[in-house]
Amino acid sequence: EVQLVESGGGLVQPGGSLRLSCAASGFTFDDYGMGWVRQAPGKWLEWVSDISWNGDSTYYAEQMKGRFTISRDNAKNTVYLQMNSLKPEDTAVYYCAKGGGGRTPYNYDYWGQGTQVTVSS
């Protein structure tokens, strides 16, 4: 029923930018906060960012603050992650997720399939 479909990942050079999108369906989108988490190969799941139901409140992991911006368009049932000044250590699979809170990757009730972001020269 619930579907979260990420897009926008790809290969980018260090210092470059990408914008990820997450198309949501199967639930009342503006009843829920949304978030992004990521996982690099062989590493633990890492919380990236959360946004409140109406977009009024945003939260970022310290490593992303000032470089990443989360936003949402409730009319389009879509959440975005604008990523600037990308670093090789940002390389990971990025997942869109429903719910969230607490600045952890373990407070969501649904994840998307993920989109690969690779930052390399």
Render pLDDT for 103-114 as a digit per residue (tens, 0 to 9): 999 999 999 999
Quote the pLDDT of residue 24.
98
Quote the pLDDT of residue 40.
97
Quote the pLDDT of residue 69.
98
**Which token pair is 94?**
């990025």
The chain-wide mean pLDDT, for the chain, equals 97
Render pLDDT for 36-76 as a digit per residue (tens, 0 to 9): 999 999 999 999 999 999 999 999 999 999 999 999 999 99
Region 21-28: mean pLDDT is 98
User: Which DSSP category does 102 fall into?
Assistant: T
The sign of the torsion formed by the CA atoms of 99, 56, 74, 93 equals negative
